[in-house]
Amino acid sequence: MFSLIKNFFVALMAVITFSVPFGDVQMPERKCAPEFSGTFLQSWMSSSWDEERWKAEVECMQRDGVEYLVLQDVANMDAEGNWTVYYNSTIPAFDGAAFGGDVVGAALNACKGTDIRIFIGLAMFDSFWLVGNFTGEYKSVCETTADMLEDIYDNYYSVSPENFYGWYFTPEINNQINCGPLMGKMVNGFNIVLDRATEVDSSLPMMISPYTAHYLDLGDVATYSQWLTFFECTAFRDGDIVAPQDAVGADWVEEDDLVSIWEMYSAASEKADADIKLWANCENFDIATGPSFLGGTILRPQTENIESVTATLDRFVMQMDVASRYCENIITFSYSHYYSPNLVKSMYIETYRDYVENGYVLETEKPTAPANATAVSDENGVTVSWEASEDNFGIAYYRVCRNGEFLTRVENYKWDYPLTVTDINGVSGDTYTITAVDAAGNQSVAEVTLG
């Protein structure tokens, strides 16, 4: 309790004096290159991959600079208390669990003979997002996680010791109201797992990827106080890794907040007793958030995209540039989900490769304007159609406006959608503007048509 009170007043004084993250700051020189070297991969997606698919994915990772593969969780408990396990378990807690396939074994075997180092993700439970540490469930899962860690080490480390690199603690500790005010208890659960990791093999680092949100939190002073507690009270070992999510893709923070948030993590991480590593987890996606009465105030604001998509590179490059000033290394959620050419169109990774090869300079060639746009009015509204734009790498989406106001987006990140939009509220005489946006975020000259 004394530590919590002390950290609150330390944070308050820091904010008042602008000696930490919440004032205007000048970004320091880079500590690492503004590119990613690792990716997260969720077990539910890779559980269906056969050897050929794993080989294809690993080849793509190697080509595109992925040195670290983080299996996000290999055991998950749903809200009803039912476990799904993605490895061959021998612990009693998983008796009767659904078996989702041996992702741990498949990943280790697929990466044999490569330089890819694997972090094995541990247990997660769906109720975490609602209850956090309000109940005893979090501690119970942490105890199961510790047993699971030893189980995996005993049965899988010998498969490929060169690739079995470390652990990933899956619950995403954060500053929101179900976690932040209970940070001491969150840390206590994490320490259960860290202690077992030390007993099993102290040479394997533990990674954790927390996040900061500017919605459903208690404000800047409380947030900084909570992260001070996190770094001070966690039983980190030398070499453990804290890789905060920048939370831009998940829309928990605005892009303009990134410098202040990284300043906060940098300052708070100095309170750790051990020689830990501060990495960054830069998000390369755009989550889809619907309209809400409290959106943009207490809850996340509504997004223009109505499905979660790959982010354009202009935003992602900005995130990595900021993170590179504070962190030793950058990983991402997720190359495997949003960049792999086996899952999405290759324009994103091709644009990214061009950016790296050209000395971290993003291409600026604009797409051609959408051609031959038409707008036809009938009793169902106005149907707007156009022909595809051309680009040196590819079109990410088309942005459609009615009378100068945003109407909708037609996504192009994964497959080709019909280049047509039916506006049920449109009337004859409305003006529609269609703009093409490429994978780098470059925008075409707009094509205008009348309803």
Tokens of 254: 């605005």
Q: What is the pLDDT at residue 25? A: 60
Q: Answer for the pair 118, 109: CB distance below 8 angstroms, yes or no.
A: no
Q: Which helix (H) or strand (E) holds 68?
A: strand 68-71
Q: Answer for the pair 364, 71: CB distance below 8 angstroms, yes or no.
A: no
| Predicted confidence (pLDDT) per residue in 379-391, tens digit | 999 999 999 999 9
Q: What is the pLDDT at residue 415? A: 86
Number of other residues whose CB lies within 10 A of the CB of residue 371:
12
Q: Answer for the pair 202, 240: CB distance below 8 angstroms, yes or no.
A: no
Burial class (CB in 10 A: 0-12, 13-18, 19+), 51: exposed
Q: What is the pLDDT at residue 296? A: 80
Q: What is the pLDDT at residue 21? A: 45
User: Residue 364: phi, psi to the nearest 5?
Assistant: -125, 15
Number of other residues whose CB lies within 10 A of the CB of residue 432:
24
Domain with CATH 3.20.20.80 in the chain: 2-357
| Predicted confidence (pLDDT) per residue in 294-342, tens digit | 878 888 999 999 999 999 999 999 999 999 999 999 999 999 999 999 9
Rounded CA Rg of the chain: 23
Q: Is 198 left (phi over 0), alpha (psi -120 to 50) or beta?
A: alpha
Three-class DSSP category at 339: coil
Q: What is the pLDDT at residue 23? A: 45
Domain with CATH 2.60.40.10 in the chain: 371-450
Residue whose pair of structure tokens reads 């080849």 in the numeric block: 59
Claim: this prediction has a pTM higher than 0.85: yes
Distance CA 271, CA 362 (A): 36
Which residues of the chain are modeled with pLDDT < 50?
Answer: 2, 8-9, 13, 15-23
CATH superfamily for 2-357 is Glycosidases (3.20.20.80)
Q: What is the pLDDT at residue 292? A: 87
Distance CA 182, CA 259 (A): 26
Number of other residues whose CB lies within 10 A of the CB of residue 131:
15
Three-class DSSP category at 182: helix
Q: What is the pLDDT at residue 1? A: 53
Q: What is the pLDDT at residue 10? A: 52
Q: What is the pLDDT at residue 6? A: 52
Give the domain 371-450 fold. Immunoglobulin-like (2.60.40)
Distance CA 158, CA 90 (A): 16
Q: What is the pLDDT at residue 293? A: 81
Q: Which helix (H) or strand (E) holds 261?
A: helix 258-269
